Structures are given as C-alpha cells and as structure tokens.
Amino acid sequence: MGDHSDAHDAHHGDHHGAPAIHFSRKDYVTGFLLAGLLTAIPFWLVMSHAIGDASTAGFIVMGLAAVQVVVHMVYFLHMNGKSEHGWTLLALLFTLLLLGIVLTGSLWVMHHLKVNMMPMSIQDMRQAP
C-alpha cells in the first residue's frame, strides 16, 4: 500500500507541495529539433563564410549559443519560474551574475595588459642584457 501512495504523491507533486512539471515527448522532440537547428546554423555560417566580417559572425554565433542555452534549460532541464518555488531560476541568475563579473574582469585585465605592454622590436631584444 505504501507503494501506491508514493506513486500517487510523485504524480501530483513533490513533498513540498509544488505541482509536478510534466513534459511530453512532443516537448523533448521540439527541444531536440531546436538544439539541432541552433547548432547547424552557426556551423553553416562559419563553414560557408556567409558573413564576411569575422567579428560579426562571432557575435551571431555567440548569440545563437545563448539562445541554445535557454532552449536546453527550458526543454531538457525543465527550468522555469515555477519549479522548486523559483529557486532554480534564482540560482541561474546568481550564476549568470558571477559569470558576467568574472568574464568582464578577465577581459578588462587582458585589455590593460595589452595596452600597457611595451612594444619591443627584435633589435631591442637582441641588445637587452
């Protein structure tokens, strides 16, 4: 009898009272097709040189990668504002904030290292002690 009530509780929600999130096969197929499309488009853009400017192509590829991350989170990780009372969304936002701080700081440090490096020619290097 305990097995029946456990299965009943698992079907209707978790033990904290949150409703269970149900995804169908159609949702998984939609996620798979979107992920495949969001992989094929950047691959085609890069391999066919459809966009002449490399930096523009890079920004487009990064944008499509960000969209693909969202597709994976929604369709495969089932993250939304309702799951686990919003804690997964809050954890995601905190992670994105930390990632932004780390990436911005790293780019800032690398830029200043490049700007402040003294240019040396090969002649100067040969004459250095």
Q: Which domain holds residue 40?
A: 24-78
- Three-state DSSP class for residue 19: strand
Please say if the pLDDT value at position 15 is more than 60: no
Assess if residue 128 is contained within a domain. no
**One domain for residues 89 and 63:** no
**One domain for residues 57 and 91:** no
Query: For 12-21, 34-43, 61-70, 90-99, which range has the lowest pLDDT when averaged over its residues?
Result: 12-21
**One domain for residues 92 and 67:** no
pLDDT tens digits, 26-38 = 989 999 999 999 9
Candidates 90, 88, 110, 92; CA nearest to 100 is: 92
Assess if residue 71 is contained within a domain. yes
CA atoms within 13 A on the CB side of 75: 18
What are the CB-based long-range contacts (under 8 Å, 24+) for 84-91?
84/18, 85/16, 85/18
**Single pTM value for the model:** 0.57
Kindly state the average pLDDT of the residues 30-58.
Answer: 93
